[in-house]
Amino acid sequence: MRNTQSIIRYPNITYPETSIQPNLTGIQPHIIDIAHYNDNRNIEVVRISRVNYISGINRCFEQRLLLRVILANGSVIPINLDNIEEIQDINYCYVSGIENPISIYPLFDQYIIVTYTHATNTSDNTTFMDRGVVLDWSGKNISTLDFGPAYLSPGTTIWHPDQLIRNNIIPKNGFLYLSAVSGTNNLEWKQYEYKGEGRFALLHNDTFDILDNNLNTNFQFTVLSTLNGGYAIVYVNSTNNIYANSNNNHTASDQFTAGIYVTLLNYNQTKTSQKLILHEMTTPNISFSGISCSVNYDFMGHTCMILVQQLNVEPNNITTTKFFIKITFHSTGSVTQLRQYNIPIDNAFPWLKILRFGGFMYVSRKYNGQTYNFSFSLYDESDQPSNWTFPQQPIISNIYGSFDLLPNNTMLVALNELSTSWTLLSIDLPSLIPAPRFDSGYGNLQIKTTYPLRNTKDLPLNTDMIKITFFDRVSFSSSNANLTIYQTINQTDVLRQLINSKNCTGCNALDNVIMLNVLNCTFNDPGGHYYIKMDNNFVKNEYDESIAGIDANIWRFQTENKQYAHLGDIKGILRLTITGSQDFQGLDDSGRQNFFNTLIEELTLIIPVEKGRLESNGHYQLDTSKILISLLIREAKDEKLTAKDIKNDLHQLIINKAFTSISGGKATNSLDETYGFQQAPLRLGLIIPNFILSILFVVRNSNDIPMLHLPRGLVTTLVILTATDYEYLTILRDVHIFTKKLYRYEEINIFNIFKHIFGVAIIWGAFIDIFLRNIPQIIVLAVSKFIIFII
């Protein structure tokens, strides 16, 4: 559990750089930008560069794209892109002194999108086009996206880089691109979907006007991803009449001087929704100079912090008052909190951020020649200054004041570079969650506890229920959000079960607790390593607001180790679906053998079971329109799952195919979920009744026809002896010790002679059984005119 008295770590991450450009040898590399992946891996991507020359107020950098991926363990992966012709020289200089044409956005896995501007004529701003290139950690250029004309101020050819990308809350759903439309007061949004292998395609786009006729002088905008899988475009605008009457008390909506608005977009939405009014002001001489928004993980909903400036006009004197507005709203647009903060602001670059673990942070960056004096303070959920302060303030950051906040509440600050290395200061911030809530370690402040608990090592095998307890009342969402259970096997995540919030028949919500039934075969591996992932919007609160989920690899646990009684191998039958049967029949002999091999490999991983425990002799039979195939489950030789347990688990996995990895396999997807795994009849169960009936036949009916008495006895005796030897051979063939050479035990190796006679002996035994028992008995029956059924 975190608290405000937590010990704060602040280690450094330092990395040396070398330049290949002769005139920049020995020049300090600067961290220009820092961004992170929106998952629990806590991986950062930084862009570094060296100043090439200074032109007026603009700095121009070396014309190379240098990215550094910083892993959670502190190791660094360099990405050096020296010859990207797409990224022209216009992108390596700041615009208007503060606008950077190049931005980096980590997406997911190893993908990064870099936005920039491309021109057919770099001297003609009207030819500028905004673009993006998708890279991976190896520096491979995977794809390029064309976003449209770059923004030029209305009525001019002045270029202002303003494109913005926001990842979806589910990163593999794509992202939203937002930019002002060149020469207008409009915004254009574009939703992109992920198509696989690092490629994206336009899903939908639309343009909308964010400025009213009388509010046309100042605006700011941003985007946040919402927990329901959509986006919220938040923007502010105002007039700028510095000589307006400060006592003006307008009340009509068309005479408001400033406003804060939101436009909500669902995923895959085709047109812009009507804007919602969050707050409007009649105070004159208002302007906005910054806006920061995020999901509020503590109380659910969305929170924005807006920096406001007001000009106070007095005779012969104009002064400026700066303050912040904090506004929290639900996905319906209803405002739940609106507060004003008069925090002392004594610099040109203030910044506020809602913290994931409660409260918010105010950052002050005061320019000091070639560095920034970087300081910050924390405020709790009651908007009061925290009793914790960082001991080393101000921090001397680099000339760009670069910093970032990770999802785990760690802040990274770029320190001033004094050599050919760069350094990041890492600060682990405390939790500011108010009691009685606390951080239970699931990365979700709404969750109080779970069953099984995180990091437990003795979950009973075949547990059939899991439970999540929240701090507040919850219910299941009607979205298609999933809770998925994975098992980690040899560093590979194997899907064990999927539970959908909309179609779950074994899900129950009672007040602040949800209980979900799971298959008996899900937690079936002794000592297995599992984790459970829950999508955002799997559950919602009593106000119908989506609740955050649980990221991968956080809710981890192990099953107990348990000893089993081994009862022997099991033979059974699998059936293919109609489509699977048709595909199988279309294969040649080699293709069918590959199918069996693939089926065994996939089932070995999905169940899971050790290699060699599953076998198939490749035999199959057409049953009406569906193929039946044989499968042998070998008994365990040590404390692993027994053949009986594997049989039961396999049957459960197949009949619940839609919710397990069976549906995702190349071969297993062909298995018939209405059939499952059917155990073959026990051979001895047929042999013993046959043996008993044969004896009874001789004893009871031997005198019915005296002339057949002696032949009956001889035939029965010979058949019993032959059948007994035949069955012994059949059983011995299936016992590994008699078919596997044991080099250390020559006495046992003698039994290996059976290996060479099993095949021929069993075949001849079958023929002898037919000709010496079945046919003579039929003759006897015909002669005696009795009808007897022999099993």
State whether residue 692 is helix, strand or coil: helix
Tell me if 295 sits within 8 A of 225, measured CB to CB. yes
As a whole number, the mean pLDDT across the chain is 83
Average pLDDT over residues 621-630: 87
- What share of the chain has pLDDT > 90, as a percent? 53
- Give the mean pLDDT of 153-161: 91
Structure tokens at 554: 């956080």
**Assigned token pair, 523:** 């937690």
Domain 447-558 and domain 570-679, same fold? Reply is: no
Return the higher-pLDDT residue of 256 and 553.
Answer: 553
Lowest-confidence segment of 448-452, 539-543, 564-568 by average pLDDT: 564-568
Q: Which of 548, 496, 547 has its CA nearest to residue 525?
A: 496
What pLDDT, on the 0 to 100 scale, is given for residue 495? 95
CA gap 668, 664 in Å, rounded: 7
**Element spanning 271, H or E:** none
Compute the distance between CA of residue 579 and CA of residue 604 in angstroms, rounded to an integer. Answer: 23
pLDDT 10s digits, 168-179 = 999 999 999 999
What is the helix (H) or strand (E) element at residue 694, kind and residue range?
helix 683-701
Give CB contacts under 8 A, 24+ apart, made by 436-441. Answer: 437/298, 437/471, 438/1, 438/2, 439/1, 439/2, 439/357, 440/1, 441/554
pLDDT above 70 coverage of the chain, percent? 81
Quickly state the pLDDT bin for 787 (edges 50, 70, 90).
Answer: very low
Comparing 145 with 758, which gets the higher pLDDT? Answer: 145
With the CA atoms of 57, 63, 64 and 68 taken in that order, what torsion angle do they form, in degrees rounded to the nearest 10? 0
User: Above 90 in pLDDT, residue 739?
Assistant: no
Q: What is the pLDDT of residue 48?
A: 94
Fold of 570-679: Alpha-Beta Plaits (3.30.70)
List pLDDT tens digits, range 104-126: 999 999 999 999 999 999 999 99
Q: Is 257 helix (H, G, I), strand (E, B) or coil?
A: coil
Torsion of CA 33, 37, 42, 46, to 10 degrees: -20
Please tell me the pTM assigned to this model.
Answer: 0.77
Paired tokens of 619: 């035999």
Q: Taking a C-beta distance cutoff of 8 angstroms, is the pair 338, 327 a contact?
A: yes
d(CA 650, CA 677): 7
Calculate mean pLDDT across residues 33-39. Answer: 93
Spatial CB neighbours of 225, under 8 Å, sequence gap ≥ 6: 38, 166, 167, 168, 169, 176, 231, 295
> Is the previous residue joined to 149 through a cis bond, with omega within 30 degrees of 0?
no
pLDDT at 154: 87
566 vs 628: which has the higher pLDDT: 628
Architecture of domain 447-558: Sandwich (2.60)
- pLDDT, tens digit (0-9, with 9 covering 90-100), for 528-541: 999 999 999 999 99
d(CA 775, CA 528): 55
**Minimum mean pLDDT among 87-91, 207-211, 233-237, 771-775: which range?**
771-775
Please state the domain extents for the chain: 447-558, 570-679, 683-784
| Burial class of 155 by CB neighbour count within 10 A (0 to 12, 13 to 18, 19+) | exposed
Distance between CA atoms of 321 and 669, rounded to whole angstroms? 66
pLDDT digits (tens, 9 = 90+) for 655-693: 999 999 999 999 999 999 999 999 876 554 555 556 565
